[in-house]
Amino acid sequence: MSQYLLLDLAVKSLQHDMTVAERFKMKRVFLSSMDALLKQLHKDYFQLKRQLAQQKIRLVSWHRIDDYFSDVQVATVGNDEELRYANQALKTQVEELLLKQLQSHSFEQSK
């Protein structure tokens, strides 16, 4: 579930950042890479969402408690759980995920 949450945040963050990057003077340099990254993240996100659905696990709600924490409610077969995440930790993990994706993507292109 944590990986699913990170992918969800990464997609949302990258979509937001793309709207900002559209105002860059050299936007063509950045937007093509960002678009390729977003497509890969979408693919990974929907694949993981499908796997979770097969296991009958779903995200019920996600709400920000304050500047520091967010609560996530997850439904599983016969059991609901509420998980608390530190917002700064999520941000750091999303950044690491994006960097890892960029490195693997650029490596594949150089082959």
Q: What is the pLDDT of residues 10-32, one digit of tens each?
A: 999 999 999 999 998 888 888 88
Structure tokens of 35? 């678009």
Segment 44-52 long-range contacts (CB within 8 Å, at least 24 positions apart)? 44/7, 45/4, 45/7, 45/8, 45/11, 48/3, 48/4, 48/7, 49/4, 52/1, 52/4
Q: What is the pLDDT of residues 78-101, one digit of tens each?
A: 889 999 999 999 999 999 999 999
Query: The pTM is what?
Result: 0.84
